[in-house]
Structure 1
């Protein structure tokens, strides 16, 4: 792995990708470059947020990618099926067959959100994890309140530490 790892941040429009980056930036007290995060062990991770369009994600985006964060809006049931299709497309991309994947179910603070059990069932998450070639982690998050942000940072730390020679 290079000294600066690339993490793709993907998901539909309005799931909270930009807010997640801003919250992580505040926790880490980094400068104004929203995409570069320096973790505890001085490992730099560049998080590339790809727009919210549910269109195709071109293979060139996957070059040099060492991890993927895929965000889902747990309060938007009408978006679940398209998010699931996009996730399956990402997981089946050849360049991503061995990268670590974090699936974030965001907006757990909303009163109308689905439970983690409900959304995992709709996604058939157990089947996805069982058939994927990548290590997959799932977490709940509220980018708005900050609940779960430390778990995201811990995941980023764990995958960069495991992939580095520190």
Structure 2
């Protein structure tokens, strides 16, 4: 019954297709928040695909809770929307075959009325892989400027590699900005 005890003001919803790196991102952010993590992220920890939901607390200014939903839960993501104050949506920048389904999922969550005032962080992950598409290519394929122009939400776009830590500071900056809004 954890869902009933979480307040809308502190839960961040982490969404994305299976295999985009959501679990690794959360583990790396946890490490970054630890005392020694800011100095050395170390090797990426092992992860398993999320089946269901994971709740992770991050001490970022104040304690926030990230609720990661497994990609296989896409059809029921909307049942978790009312419990969140912000959405992180992750896309695999190295998997072009997933672009159209990721875009459909993104448009679906942006059109949800309950999320109309919820800030969104759009994360293009896996930029460390040789086959990744550049941010310019991804923005063009997703028509990000059109989406941002039409969306009711504030949308921030970042590139990351949860594996090597690239871009995690931008994710942390976004978290901090949402605490001060």
**How does the TM-score come out when normalised to structure 1?**
0.89
What residue in structure 2 maps to residue 22 of structure 1? Answer: 27
What residue in structure 2 maps to residue 149 of structure 1? Answer: 168
The change in CA–CA distance for 1:62 and 1:37 in structure 2 (over 3 A counts) is same
What residue in structure 2 maps to residue 160 of structure 1? Answer: 179
Name stretches of at least 5 consecutive residues in structure 2 with no aligned partner. 1-6, 36-53
- Measured after TM superposition, the shift of residue 58 of structure 1 is 4.2
CA distances 1:76-116 after superposition (whole Å, capped 9, x unpaired): 00000000000000101111000000000000110010011
Q: Is the 8 A contact 2:160 2:168 kept in 1?
A: yes
1 CA distance for matches of 2:84 and 2:108?
16
What residue in structure 2 maps to residue 10 of structure 1? Answer: 15
Matched, 1:96 2:115: yes
CA distances 1:104-142 after superposition (whole Å, capped 9, x unpaired): 000011001001111111111110000000000000000
Q: Is the 8 A contact 1:54 1:86 kept in 2?
A: no
Pairing of 1:114-153 with structure 2 (within 5 A): 114-153=133-172
- Measured after TM superposition, the shift of residue 60 of structure 1 is 2.4
Pairing of 1:77-96 with structure 2 (within 5 A): 77-96=96-115
Matched, 1:63 2:68: no
Pairing of 1:21-60 with structure 2 (within 5 A): 21-29=26-34, 35-39=56-60, 41=61, 43-53=62-72, 55-60=74-79
Tell me which moved more, 81-90 or 51-60: 51-60
Query: Counterpart of 1:9 in 2: which secondary structure?
Result: strand
Q: CA RMSD in A?
A: 1.8
The change in CA–CA distance for 1:3 and 1:90 in structure 2 (over 3 A counts) is closer
Name stretches of at least 5 consecutive residues in structure 1 with no aligned partner. none
2 CA distance for matches of 1:3 and 1:100?
13
Count of residues in Structure 1 that have an aligned counterpart in Structure 2: 157
Question: Would you identify which runs of 4 or more consecutive aligned residues in structure 1 move more than 3 Å?
Answer: none
